[in-house]
Amino acid sequence: MGQEIDLMRNYPVSKRNLEKRAASRSEEDRQIARLFGKEFFDGDRKYGYGGYNYNPRFWQPIVPDFQKYYSLTAESSILDVGCGKGFMLYDFMQLIPGITVAGIDISQYAISNAMEEVKPFVQVGNAKELPFEDNSFDLVISITTLHNLERNDCRNALLELERVSSNNKFITVDAYHNDEEKRRMDMWNLTALTYMSTQDWKIFFDDSHYTGDYFWFIP
């Protein structure tokens, strides 16, 4: 298994009242969000992002840490599993001209509304069955995506990340350290079908033969 490393440490932290926002969520809201359509990305905030638009303050501070940690160059190749509209891939392309990028997302809406610069490199697909050859990418990333799968499908997705990566992998998943964080996660969760304690995730990674790096999203 890889390292627990916070490569997302420079991602902006929300200043909104998370408790108030989470408490207002209903099971109907979650069902709509899990369709990952227009409502999730660009609809009312109770269904998801409340408007998912490119803003350089989100990913631009992040990608240099990935570049440095994984020694990425113009000869490198990256796959983003759960790429949404391709914002992170776009910032990789800006930071490292010539780098090979690819993205996959389960949302037809997200792919159809991807940034024009990345549209040729992204496609609709499912993490549990990636449409790429073995060892296709130097780095495979998946940010807050795999936990949206059922447990067995999540395991299959980890195996797929292993298969298509020639070397490095990095994922973040919903998790908690203690009962209070679990309470907040239960309230906050909108789309995740698989989330557990950080220790249980590590056991799950090991049992799934996942050898990549990882970190947690904890609201």
User: Which pLDDT score is estimated for 106?
Assistant: 98
| Residue 219 confidence (pLDDT) | 84
pLDDT, tens digit (0-9, with 9 covering 90-100), for 80-103 = 999 999 999 999 999 999 999 999
- The confidence score (pLDDT) of residue 1 equals 76
Give the mean pLDDT of the chain. Answer: 95
* pLDDT attached to residue 191: 96
Render pLDDT for 156-166 as a digit per residue (tens, 0 to 9). 999 999 999 99
**Per-residue pLDDT at 15:** 62
pLDDT for 19 equals 64
pLDDT digits (tens, 9 = 90+) for 17-65: 666 666 677 899 999 999 999 999 999 999 999 999 999 999 999 999 9
Residue 217 predicted with pLDDT over 90: yes
Q: Torsion angle, CA of 160/29/36/210, rounded to 10 degrees?
A: -10
Q: Summarize pLDDT for 170-211 with one digit per residue, the tens.
A: 999 999 999 999 998 998 899 999 999 999 999 999 999 999
Please give the pLDDT value at position 96.
98
User: Is residue 118 over pLDDT 90?
Assistant: yes
pLDDT band at 2 (very low <50, low <70, confident <90, very high): very high
Q: What CATH number has the domain spanning 18-217?
A: 3.40.50.150
